[in-house]
Amino acid sequence: KLFEYALNNGKEIKSKTNISKKHISISSLTYDLIKNISNNHNINLSLVGSGKIIRSLLKILEKDNYSFIKKINIINHNLESAAVLKKEFLIDKIDIYTLNDCKEILNDSDIIITATTSNKFLLDKNSINNINNKYLIDLSLPKNINPNIKDLVNIKLYDLNNINENKNINLKSREKEIN
């Protein structure tokens, strides 16, 4: 009975408050950011990495039926890992590439997200041509995008610090709902 009581109270709190409306996971916050950046226009999205964060982000995009995505490029040092993700999400919008073969793909991307375990910079100001607006989001620790990339015009760089700022804002909003 206690478990049932707790479950019912949890459902009631969730339905009568906005406590669950503000995201706090890295993947959900990143989704919010790219959706805001895209302004619901079809974008080319490049994802560098194939781990938990990328998989989680793909699940959120899938749940949203890829509503603002024209193309997804999964870029990884290991094509087999990228192929596993492509097979898991079974949509024709996904292509896979190695990091060595992706300069043109990165140039065609509107948003580039890195989430790898690499301990070195994978992208810098020489990695992309600065033709149009690009948004880069570095979710890696240590960082995978050299901050010198901000020297290029039309480049906006976000990192985990920016994501955590949004997380803290959303946590405070949730706390207000409780009080």
Q: What is the pLDDT of residues 111-143, one digit of tens each?
A: 999 999 999 999 998 888 766 788 999 999 999
DSSP assignment, residue 148? G
pLDDT at 110 over 90: yes
For residue range 23-67, list pLDDT tens digits in order. Answer: 668 898 899 999 989 987 899 999 999 999 999 999 999 988 888
Residues with Cβ within 8 Å of 110's Cβ and at least 6 positions away in sequence, in order, are: 37, 38, 43, 44, 45, 133, 134, 135
Residue 1 CB coordination number (10 Å): 5
SS3 105: helix
Residues with Cβ within 8 Å of 150's Cβ and at least 6 positions away in sequence, in order, are: 157
Quick one: what percent of the chain has pLDDT higher than 70? 82
Query: What's the CA gap between 58 and 97, in Å, rounded?
Result: 16
